[in-house]
Structure 1
């Protein structure tokens, strides 16, 4: 799931400074448990693709598209 979201960021489907869909929505969209969606969000955060703003939500990082493209090229 984290890989697919990374691909969506690299393609521009999930644009910088836009909210990442809520974890519950991601879980439904991908047909996975809420725990799996949370783990994917954690991975995206640890790789610098998303940032969390307290009381606001999780957003695609400004430089996420470039980082995602680079990560996919090296994978």
Structure 2
């Protein structure tokens, strides 16, 4: 299943829209659990946004439990959680 291209709405916050688009890519299976997420600089380039916007979007995904960041390793798509399982903060 392919996620539609990113088309930001000028009325909303760009980082939220980017995070939602990445979340859709995760939900569709395009970005698979336990695989590395592209670096923030690469994501900024891919989405045509500033590095700060990309960082804010990945921070939001981390807060939502959709990605995890491992120090000195990178950011990874989180493993699928079972219903009702609490988030683990790292």
TM-score range, shorter chain: 0.7 to 0.9
Count of residue pairs the alignment pairs up = 66
Q: What are the ranges of 5 or more consecutive residues in structure 2 without an aligned counterpart?
A: 1-17, 84-90
Give the number of the structure with larger relative contact order, counting CA–CA contacts within 8 Å between residues 6 or more apart: 1
Summarize the alignment of residues 19-58 of structure 1 with structure 2, pairs less than 5 Å apart. 19-58=36-75
Number of the residue aligned with 2:80: 63
Runs of 4+ in 1 over 4 A off after TM superposition: none
Number of the residue aligned with 1:70: none
When the two chains are superposed, the root-mean-square deviation of aligned CA atoms in Å is: 1.6
Residue 31 of structure 1 and its aligned partner are, at CA, apart by 0.3
Name whichever structure is richer in helix by fraction. Answer: 1
Which structure has the larger Rg over C-alpha atoms?
A: 2
